[in-house]
Amino acid sequence: MFATYGPMFLLLTVAALIALLFYTGATVLGPKNPTPDKMKPYECGSESSGGNHLKLSVKFYLTAILFVVFDIEAVFIYPWAVHFKTLGWTGLISMFSFLAVVIVALVYCVKKGALEWEK
């Protein structure tokens, strides 16, 4: 396993090390002079307002769940694309009938206004 994925783990380790280096470097080397104003949560330079929990609209949920569903559908297309040539007509027909269902779902979403950002 480590022979196969060695480079990947190496990459992850180096990335983590660099992040750690920058973080600790900034903490150790940087001069610090904290004042109460500086310690406040930073919000684009303006006075911060409200709690840390904001209430989102249910519209976000709909968009997110539609994204998840179409994301999963996209997952199926990767392995199909890899085998596109060897699968021949059977593969083409099976994927197109799958995609037909997906497209109906998409048309339904659009026509029902599920993708519109209503006010």
Partner 1 sequence: MSTDIWLGWTYFILCALFALVGALATISSANPIRGAMGLLMMILSIAGLYLSLHAQFLAAIQLIVYAGAIVVLFLFVIMLLGPSAQAPSDSRARFPRAIGAGLFLLLGAGVVSWLVMLGQHISKETARLAAAGTWKPATVPSDFGGIDAFGKELFTKTLVPFELSSALLLVAVIGAIAVARSKHGDGAEKALPTAAALTEATPKEEASV
Partner 2 sequence: MNLFFALSPFLTLALGALLLMVAEAAAAGNGRGEKVRPGLALGAALTCFASCAAAAGVWFYGVERIEGLDVLQPWLIIDRFTLFFAGLLALGGGLASLLAGGYLPEHQIERGEFYALLLFSTLGALILAAAGDVLTLFLGLETMSLGVYALTAFRRASPRSAEAALKYFLLGSFAAALLLFGFALLYGATGHTDLAGLGQAVKTIASGALSGQAAGPTTLGAAAGPLVLFGFILVLAGLVFKVSAVPFHMWTPDAYEGAPTPATSFMAVAVKAGAFAVLLRVLLVCFGDKQSTSWANGWPAVIAWIAVLTMTVANLVAGRQESAKRMLAYSSIAHAGYLLVGVVATSRDGTAGTSGILFYLLGYTVATIGAFGGLILAGHRGAEAVSFEDLAGLGRRHPAAALPFALFLLSLAGVPPTAGFFGKWFILKAAMEGGFSVLTVVAFLNSVLGAYYYLKVLVYLYMREPGAGAPIATPMKSGYVNVALAVSAFFVVLIGLDPSRSLSVATRAAASLFGG
Contacts to partner 1 by CB under 8 A: 1-2, 4-5, 51, 53-62, 64-69, 71-73, 75-76, 78-80, 82-83, 86-87, 90-91, 94-95, 97-98, 101-102, 104-105, 108-109, 112-114, 118
Q: Which does 55 bind (CB under 5 to 8 A by kind): partner 2, partner 1, none?
A: partner 1
Task: Tell me how far apart the alpha carbons of residues 22 and 28 are, in angstroms, rounded to a whole number.
Answer: 10
Query: Are the beta carbons of 2 and 10 closer than 8 angstroms?
Result: no
Residues found near partner 2 in the complex (CB under 8 A): 100-101, 104, 107-108, 110-114, 116
